[in-house]
Amino acid sequence: MKYWKLVLLSLSFACLAATPEARAGEVKPQRWAVIFAPTEYAGLPASPVHTAGAKELKTRLAASGFAADHIRVLSGAEGDNGPATRAELFKTLNELTSQAVKSDVILVATCSYGVRIGKVDYICSADATADDLSADTAVESLIAVSEILKELSANSGALDLVITDGAGWHESDVVAKRAANFGATPPTPSANQAVVLSRSAARCAPEGDAAPRTWFLQSVLDGLSQLGDEDRADGVTVLEFQKYLGDHADVVRTEGKVNGHQNPQSAVSSGSDFTLVTADDLQPAQVTPEFKAAMSQHMIQLAERALLIERDAAASRDALARLAPLNPAGALRSRADSLLWMTMALRGRLQDAWDLASAGERPLFVVVPRDMALYGETAQLKAGTVLQIARVADNDGVTWAKVSARFQQDYDSGVVRLSKIDAPEAWTQGTFLTAGQEAQTASASQDALTDVLKKIYPPSK
């Protein structure tokens, strides 16, 4: 008999899922969950993201086939099942794994600060202090994600999923670096296990004045609903859940590249898959207008970072593809259109982008992918400069673009801002760029502007 184990970090779940073999007497597999989310810490600021995440997750699991008495919440709050300490966590895991059988699912989810010390990822218990996070070696108040996986593997043949939402922030430079590296490489799961770790602090408040939650947690909630059932068949499986998080929770591929590794990170033991939520228990995704607007804003920011910081057309295209089903309106729709056209231009489709922009009577903006010298001038166009195009025309097989303004971009706290800069005096009559080298037309299949906008020429007569 094969066993499945899955672990997710930053928001940690340990789940036991049904195996192909049914229990004796065709008894329905049981689902168990432990949610670990300290309400307060001994020497760290409390985080509303952690407590709000735990409440939302408990509600979603209870509506998705997890019996109320099978969900244990360790937070220290009144009415929950105990404190969020190391001792209480492993005591609870031991109790659940002794009750669960091989066809069951155990999901362990942690909403707590995450840090990486050496090559090991840890979450903070309620006993953690700032000094603990700065120590050269891990102390008792920090719990290794690998320890959780090991405990599940040693005490049960059930199917395990661990999810960790390690979002956190702290003034200490040492702690900030360790938090940024959380989940850089996920621990190796044993047979029938899976793990997911997230360390992004990107937040959203999808229901107006409701407590904020991380984008990762929002994606976890959505992934356990009908949105996560990609094949619309037997409910949400571990592999479908992993894919949904990869498509929606990674607060972008671009952010992962900027910070040195992709977020979130996940690992599933070879050949492992099992059902987290059955088709009968799937809940519809309740996407409010407020959340759609917030998610649209988020995807637009991702596309902006991909274009203006990394000049990565593929990453921008991915973010805009995730934006499309949300059907943004008004100002968000206009920004999305501009980003789409910029992405097309960056991929070598300058004329197509111009045709769409001019049809909508809107300006076209393009981004310069690398430093380029201006034709006939000493000034340079710096990589990341944004040019406003007033006209595009084809002349003897060469595409020309008239530049009416240029902007420099600044990146501040995850937000890209553009500021207009004065154009050289020679630009006052409108300067033209060539698409491609002197007598060579750019191919529509080219994937970057480096071979598209090469030199700047005086306006043609």
Q: Are residues 312 and 246 in the same domain?
A: no
Q: 114 lies in a domain?
A: yes
Q: Give the pLDDT score at 130.
A: 85
Whole domain around residue 457: which residue ranges? Answer: 304-461
Residue position matching structure tokens 């009559």:
429
Average pLDDT of the chain is 76
- Name the residue with higher pLDDT: 19 or 458: 19
Q: 291 lies in a domain?
A: no
Q: 1 lies in a domain?
A: no
Q: 298 lies in a domain?
A: no
- Name the residue with higher pLDDT: 209 or 145: 145
How does pLDDT run across 385-419, given as a tens digit for each residue? 888 887 777 666 666 677 777 888 776 655 667 77
Q: Are residues 317 and 279 in the same domain?
A: no
Structure tokens at 1: 């008999």
Q: Are residues 266 and 325 in the same domain?
A: no
Q: Give the pLDDT score at 281.
A: 92
How does pLDDT run across 115-162, given as a tens digit for each residue? 889 889 999 999 999 889 888 888 999 999 999 999 998 766 789 999
Q: Which of 286, 318, 336 is the last residue of a domain?
A: 286
Q: Give the pLDDT score at 230.
A: 84
Tell me the average pLDDT across 230-249.
Answer: 85
Q: 293 lies in a domain?
A: no
Q: Are residues 282 and 408 in the same domain?
A: no
How does pLDDT run across 17-56, given as a tens digit for each residue? 444 344 345 567 899 999 999 999 999 888 888 888 899 8
Q: How many CA atoms lie within 13 A of 309 on its CB side?
A: 23
Q: Are residues 278 and 355 in the same domain?
A: no
Q: Give the pLDDT score at 408.
A: 80
Reported confidence tier of residue 384, pLDDT bands at 50, 70, 90: confident
Q: Give the pLDDT score at 350.
A: 76
Q: Give the pLDDT score at 256.
A: 39
Reply yes or no on whether the pLDDT at 288 is more than 80. no
Reply yes or no on whether the pLDDT at 429 is more than 50. no
Does the pTM exceed 0.85?
Answer: no
Q: Are residues 227 and 312 in the same domain?
A: no
Q: Give the pLDDT score at 368.
A: 80
Q: Are residues 262 and 352 in the same domain?
A: no
Read off the CATH number of the domain in which 161 is found.
3.40.50.1460
Q: Are residues 325 and 448 in the same domain?
A: yes
Reply yes or no on whether the pLDDT at 273 is more than 60. yes
Q: Are residues 430 and 309 in the same domain?
A: yes
Q: 461 lies in a domain?
A: yes
Q: Give the pLDDT score at 106.
A: 94
Q: Are residues 167 and 225 in the same domain?
A: yes
Tell me the average pLDDT across 203-212.
Answer: 58
How does pLDDT run across 434-457, given as a tens digit for each residue? 444 332 333 333 333 333 333 322
Q: Are residues 111 and 226 in the same domain?
A: yes
Reported confidence tier of residue 214, pLDDT bands at 50, 70, 90: confident
Among the ranges given (34-43, 77-86, 298-307, 402-411), the one the predictor scored with the smallest mean pLDDT: 402-411
Q: Are residues 132 and 90 in the same domain?
A: yes
Reply yes or no on whether the pLDDT at 361 is more than 50. yes
Q: Give the pLDDT score at 244.
A: 85
Q: Give the pLDDT score at 26.
A: 53
Reply yes or no on whether the pLDDT at 364 is more than 70. yes
Q: 219 lies in a domain?
A: yes
Reply yes or no on whether the pLDDT at 295 is more than 70. yes
Q: Give the pLDDT score at 447.
A: 30
How does pLDDT run across 89-107, given as a tens digit for each residue? 999 999 999 888 888 999 9
Nearest to 368 by CA among 360, 377, 380: 380
Total domains present in the chain:
2
Reply yes or no on whether the pLDDT at 183 is more than 90. no
Reported confidence tier of residue 262, pLDDT bands at 50, 70, 90: low
Q: Give the pLDDT score at 354.
A: 85
Reported confidence tier of residue 233, pLDDT bands at 50, 70, 90: confident
Q: Three-state secondary structure along the chain?
A: CCCCEEEEECCCCECCCECCCCCHHHCCCCEEEEEECCCCCCECCCCHHHHHHHHHHHHHHHCCCCCHHHEEEECCCCCCCECCCHHHHHHHHHHHHHHCCCCCEEEEEEECCEEEECCEEEEECCCCEHHHHHCCCCCCCEEEHHHHHHHHHHHCCCEEEEEEECCCCCCCHHHHHHHHCCCCCCCCCCCCEEEEEECCCCEECCCCCCCCEEHHHHHHHHHCCHHHCCCCCCCEEHHHHHHHHHHHCCCCHHHHHHCCCCCCEEEECCCCCCEEECHHHCCCCCCCHHHHHHHHHHHHHHHHHHHHCCCCHHHHHHHHHHHHHHCCCHHHHHHHHHHHHHHHHHCCCHHHHHHHHHHCCCCEEEECCCCEECCCCCCEECCCCEEEEEEEEEECCEEEEEEEEEEEEEEECCEEEEEEECCCHHHCCCEEEEECCCCCCCCCCCCCHHHCEEEEECCCC
Q: 445 lies in a domain?
A: yes
